[in-house]
């Protein structure tokens, strides 16, 4: 049956809901149309930009009637800037949409008919919450400026007056570096032409320690005006660490090796009473107060009694590992990024935690080795990257048959896919799911899931009934041997 819409066609549509990723969902004669910049309740005029077999995509050209949850965005750059796409949606509606997206992902992609959803934890603050910002340089009539990519553009950066999800400190540092850049005469890197020098500014804060770290990223060549840059940043008492990184390639990345220009190599942050050292490339949740709420949910779900062996997969710099260590017998973390493992070891020493160990390696490749060394786990915590568990990592986790799993997810669609395997072939029951809103005004949502192994459906029980080896049953979970993606904590 042909689609009832054609590319370029103008439609009048009523937006019913939000899809994962943030586009509005409307229907034309039952046919789904995803509308960019459409919010629930809106009556819009939209132009179709793409038609597929089961759906179409469109762009809102006119708002005919605003929905009841539409509000005036605070940021003057809203719509032009590529971030904070939900500033025009009341926060209560944002949270409701995120919960719905988690529930529907589990139903549709995870084959979980009635997900055991719990009330979501709303953000403590919906503005000024980010502890890490990465700005890009751009050339304006007034000279260099710092901002973010324009919506939908990889080659054009929008200079901004201020970012409303950043703190006053970060906005002030950005303005000061902008003024320094204008005084130096240094050129701005052009992403399309691949010429120029000034590329990025990274600022990260320890919100609970009052410390800040700054990284300037440039192209190759001597940093003219470095003394003036250091002097400019020393005016901020929060700044304890100033770095310079050189990106010799064309890709827009800030995770490059850095040289310390002034101060300490790191800053520190405190989360739930534990201290963590943060270097330029270390991963930490970008909303400090909600990271504490997220870890408190993980602690609650873990329900440790003090005698357990815990595995923390994709452990990053050890935040979850260290949080659980005081409540367990031993905790073992696995992380593929060796620098993160070094930070985790350092953080364990910093906090005087001795019942903890870390493995550097690919989860799918070293999990068997860890089991031989540490014994079988009583609990496994997984906090994978946005892509979820890679094939081998998922298969090894399923074969491990830990009595309980706490899964911390930043992507409900990949969580759902992994739970389909774990709650299907691997014999687990999903007991609890709790969304945590780390990122107001964006489509992103974290959630924590608790799984418990069902003895009657475990791989051992399946193997016994079928008269085959457990390992043969475990290997059927997936045939994908692709390596795991770099993890996060």
Other beta carbons within 10 angstroms of residue 333's beta carbon come to: 33
- Short-list 247, 269, 367, CA closest to 322: 269
End-to-end CA distance of the chain: 47
Dist. CA 379–CA 472, nearest whole Å: 23
Residue of 213, 234, 221 whose CA lies nearest to 279: 213
Helix axes 91-108 and 412-422, enclosed angle (nearest 10): 30
Q: What is the DSSP string of 187-232?
A: PBPBTTTTB-SEEEEEEEEETTTTEEEEEEEE-SS--TTHHHHHHH
Distant-in-sequence, close-in-space partners of 10: CB < 8 Å, separation ≥ 6: 45, 46, 47, 48, 61
Residue from 84, 163, 315, 410 carrying the catalytic annotation: 410
Q: Is residue 24 within 8 Å of 42, Cβ to Cβ?
A: yes
Q: Compute the half-sphere exposure of residue 475: CA atoms within 13 Å on the CB side of its CA.
A: 6
Helix then strand count (H, E) for the chain reads 11, 22
Residue corresponding to tokens 């005016």: 235
CB atoms under 10 Å from CB of 72, counted, come to 7
Known active-site residue 81: no
* Beta pairing class for 24-28 and 10-14: unpaired
- Bridge partners for 206 per DSSP: 211
Three-class SS state of 76: coil
> Catalytic residue numbers?
410
């Amino acid at each position: 049956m042909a689609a009832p819409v054609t590319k370029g066609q103008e439609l009048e549509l009523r937006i019913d809901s939000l899809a994962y990723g943030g586009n509005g969902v409307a229907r034309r004669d039952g046919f789904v149309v995803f509308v960019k910049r459409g919010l629930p309740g809106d009556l819009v005029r939209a132009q179709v930009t793409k038609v597929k077999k089961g759906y179409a995509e469109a762009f809102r050209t006119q708002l005919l009637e605003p929905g009841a949850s539409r509000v005036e965005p605070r940021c003057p750059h809203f719509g032009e800037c590529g971030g904070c796409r939900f500033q025009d949606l009341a926060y209560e509606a944002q949270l409701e949409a995120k919960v719905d997206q988690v529930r529907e992902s589990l139903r549709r992609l995870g084959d979980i008919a009635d997900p055991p959803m719990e009330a979501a934890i709303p953000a403590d603050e919906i503005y000024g919450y980010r502890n890490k910002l990465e700005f890009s340089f751009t050339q304006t009539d007034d000279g260099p400026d710092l901002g973010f990519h324009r919506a939908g553009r990889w080659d054009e950066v929008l200079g901004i007056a201020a970012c409303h999800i950043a703190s006053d400190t970060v906005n002030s540092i950005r303005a000061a570096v902008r003024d320094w850049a204008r005084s130096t005469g240094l050129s701005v890197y052009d992403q399309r032409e691949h010429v120029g020098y000034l590329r990025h500014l990274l600022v990260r804060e320890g919100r609970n320690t009052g410390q800040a770290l700054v990284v300037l990223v440039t192209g190759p060549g001597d940093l003219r005006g470095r003394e003036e840059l250091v002097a400019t940043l020393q005016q901020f008492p929060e700044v304890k660490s100033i770095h310079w990184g050189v990106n010799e390639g064309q890709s827009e990345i800030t995770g490059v090796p850095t040289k310390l220009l002034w101060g300490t190599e790191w800053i520190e942050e405190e989360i739930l009473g534990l201290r963590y050292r943060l270097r330029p490339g270390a991963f930490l949740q970008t909303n400090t107060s909600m990271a504490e709420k997220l870890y408190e949910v993980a602690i609650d779900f873990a329900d440790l009694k003090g005698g357990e062996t815990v595995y923390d997969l994709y452990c990053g710099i050890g935040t979850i590992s260290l949080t659980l260590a005081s409540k367990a017998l031993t905790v073992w973390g696995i992380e593929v990024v060796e620098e993160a493992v070094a930070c985790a070891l350092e953080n364990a020493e910093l906090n005087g935690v001795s019942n903890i160990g870390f493995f550097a390696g690919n989860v799918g490749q070293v999990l068997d080795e860890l089991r031989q060394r540490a014994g079988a786990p009583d609990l496994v915590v997984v906090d994978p990257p946005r892509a979820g568990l890679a094939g081998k990592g998922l298969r090894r986790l399923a074969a491990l048959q830990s009595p309980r799993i706490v899964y911390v997810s930043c992507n409900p669609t990949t969580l759902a896919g992994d739970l389909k395997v774990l709650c299907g072939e691997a014999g687990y029951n999903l007991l609890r799911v709790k969304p945590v809103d780390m990122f107001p005004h964006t489509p992103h949502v974290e959630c924590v899931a608790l799984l418990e192994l069902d003895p009657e459906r475990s791989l051992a029980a399946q193997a016994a009934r079928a008269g085959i080896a457990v390992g043969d049953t475990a290997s059927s979970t997936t045939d994908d041997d692709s390596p795991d993606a770099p993890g996060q904590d």
